[in-house]
Amino acid sequence: MDISGMAAAVRAGDRRALARAVTLVESARPDHRAQALALLDAVGRDRQALRLGLSGTPGVGKSSFIETFGLRLTGQGLRVAVLAVDPSSARSGGSILGDKTRMERLARDPLAFIRPSPSRAQMGGVARRTREAVALCEAAGFDVVLIETVGVGQSETMVAQLCDIFLLLMAPAGGDELQGVKRGIMEMADLILVNKADGALLSTATRTQADYAGALRLLRRRPQDPDTFPKALCVSAATGAGIDAAWAEIGALVEWRRENGHWAATRAAQAAHWFAEEVRQGLLSVLDRDPARARMARLAARVAAGTISPEAAAAEVLAALGQPPSG
């Protein structure tokens, strides 16, 4: 494969080259891995996009929002990349079909690039693939990279760790449902967007937005926020209401964070996090390969049979890896 040619094409913003490049970083083949690292090195890290995370439960309107919001941005001449991150088990075939039709216009827009999530369930692999896909989109000169994830499990925490601004899309709901929103997820949000604020749902959406605004005020203040953030707003992916206001709020928050050093500090902290995480994953992967894997299987049988204690068996595996038992 001509890596330097591919790198040049990605840097020139060629979307087909970008699609091939993302396929390369997604590949699990060891020879592809080496090429992927060479490619990432060749495209450089000198360009930055605004990384927007977007999360929300199935059916809340993520795809519809991305279509409306993305078209609004491309309408201003901005180049928008959309990456989806989903633990594959959370995806039904129906939603993938739904995505295609709900983002049809954005998918055809020459200023947009849409990449559905790969069918790989393992979270560590997905996190790395997404980070590398983001880096490729930045190298390709995209202004905004939207990272979408469905609101289940660890994928939200992962996306929050790799975006500059985290948007939480919510449905209009009664007070009881609001109680059910996990605090940890609320704490990650920079903006809560109550979608479907249109037609018969408008008044419920407005009440829901006020409820979330109240709930956000009860959370501990974060250093990376100006006084008025995090915020809750109403939007409608269907009518476009509130979409410009949401973009303006994002812009204001980005500007404040840049001026106050939080933008760079957050990116630095995220890089440190992923560095440690890669080391951790790399160490853990040793256990999935022989000889450790075979040794563990042998010892597991003895542990189950009660002929060796779990602790002694673990110490034996660690010793074989040259590690003292952990204290």
Ligand X SMILES: Nc1nc2c(ncn2[C@@H]2O[C@H](COP(=O)(O)OP(=O)(O)OP(=O)(O)O)[C@@H](O)[C@H]2O)c(=O)[nH]1
- Please pick, from the candidates 53, 56, 70, 118, the single residue that binds ligand X as defined by CB under 6 A: 56
- Please pick, from the candidates 111, 193, 237, 253, the single residue that binds ligand X as defined by CB under 6 A: 237
Contacts to ligand X from residues 13-52, by CB under 6 A:
none
291-300 b/e (C-beta count within 10 Å ≥ 16 → b): ebeebbeebe
Query: Which range, of 10-18, 53-61, 262-270, 315-323, touches ligand X by CB under 6 A?
Result: 53-61
Query: Which range, of 57-65, 172-180, 250-258, 309-317, touches ligand X by CB under 6 A?
Result: 57-65
Amino acid at residue number 133: A
74 binds, among ligand X, Mg ion, none (CB under 5 to 8 A by kind): none
Query: Which range, of 59-67, 124-132, 136-144, 315-323, touches ligand X by CB under 6 A?
Result: 59-67
Q: Is 85 among the residues that bind ligand X (CB under 6 A)? A: no
CA proximity to 118, closest of 91, 151, 79, 81: 91
56 binds, among ligand X, Mg ion, none (CB under 5 to 8 A by kind): ligand X
Residue 109 beta carbon to Mg ion: minimum distance, rounded to whole angstroms: 18
| Cis peptide bond upstream of 291, omega within 30 | yes
Q: Is 78 among the residues that bind ligand X (CB under 6 A)? A: no
Residue 96 beta carbon to ligand X: minimum distance, rounded to whole angstroms: 8
Residue 87 beta carbon to Mg ion: minimum distance, rounded to whole angstroms: 14
Pairing of strands 191-194, 165-170: parallel
H helices of the chain, where?
3-11, 15-26, 30-43, 62-75, 93-102, 104-108, 123-139, 155-160, 175-179, 183-188, 202-218, 243-259, 262-286, 292-305, 310-320
Residue 243 beta carbon to ligand X: minimum distance, rounded to whole angstroms: 10
Binding mask 174-213 for ligand X (x = CB under 6 A): ---------------------xx-xx--------------
- Residue 167 backbone dihedrals phi, psi, to 5 degrees: -105, 135
What is the side-by-side strand order in the sheet with 231-234? 112-115, 80-85, 144-150, 50-56, 165-170, 191-194, 231-234
d(CA 243, CA 175): 25
- Assigned token pair, 323: 């590690």
Q: Is 95 among the residues that bind ligand X (CB under 6 A)? A: yes
Give the interface with ligand X as residue ranges (CB under 6 A): 56, 58-64, 95, 98-99, 102, 150, 195-196, 198-199, 236-238
